[in-house]
Structure 1
C-alpha cells in the first residue's frame, strides 16, 4: 500500500461518483439525494483523512513539486480547496434535491473538487512520492484507510480548517 496510490484511487472514485450523479434520472429525486449523500460522505471523509494524516506528513518532507512554488503553497492551497468543496456541499445539502439550486451547488462541488484533485495529483502526491520512503507511504496508508473505515458509514462532521494550522 502507498498513501499516494490510495489518494489517487479515491480521486478516481470521486470522479466516477460525480459522473454517475450527472447521468442519474432527473425525476428520481430520492435516488439523486441518496447518491449525493454517499458522494458527500466520500468527499468529507477523504478530506478529513488527508488533513489528519497526509498534509502534516507532507509538511515534514515536502519541497514543492510540479507547478507549486513550495510545500507551504501546496498544503495551504489544498486546505483552502477543501473548505470551498465543503461550502458547495453545504449549499447542496440545504437545497431541495434535483432543484436548480441543488444542481448548481453539485456542479460547484464537482468543479472545486476537480480543480483540487488535479493540483494535488500534480503537486502534493508527486512531492510526497519524491521525498518519502515507500515504508513511510505504506505506514501512512494504513492509518489513512483505518480512519476512513472507522468513519465510512456515518461520515464525519464537516469543519472548515485554517490553512495556517497545517504548515510549519
Structure 2
C-alpha cells in the first residue's frame, strides 16, 4: 500500500518530490527572512527587537491585553515573545486582522532592515517564501527538509507567509522601477 500522508524523508511517500524548486525555506533566529530573526523594527509607534515581537505585541494590544503586550515587548527572544502570547485569549477580530498586521510588519522590516530588503529584492516572481517550522497557517506545515522534499501541492499548510512576502516583493520592485 502506498503512503499518502507527507513523510518528507521517505522516498516511498506518494508526495515525495526531490526536484529542485525555487523555494526559500526559513525558520528561526538565524534566517533573515524569519520573524524570529533579531532586528530592530519600529512599527505602530513602538520599537521591537524582531518582527515576531511586533506581531505578538500587536496581537496582545488588539486583544485588549496591555499587560501581556508589555511583557512581550521586553521578552528576551522572539521565541519567548511567541510563548508569552500563546496564553492570550484571541478574539475573532484578530484572526481577521492578522494577515494585514503581518503585511505591515514585514513592509516595515523591508524598509528598516537592509539585509532583509536585499534578500527579498533578489527573488523573482517564481520564488516561494516558506516559513518552514511546522506551521499550518503561515507555512506549509513541514520543516525545511520536508518543505524541499514534498510536492508543493501536498503541503498540508496554507503558507500564507509566501502570499504576503510575494506581494511585498512585487510591490517594492515596482516602486524601485518607477
**TM-score normalised to the size of structure 1?**
0.34
Q: Is the helix fraction higher in 1 or 2? A: 1
Larger Rg belongs to? 2
Question: Larger % of strand: which?
Answer: 2
Give TM-score, length-normalised by structure 2.
0.33
Q: Say which structure, 1 or 2, has more relative contact order (CA 8 Å, 6+ apart).
A: 1
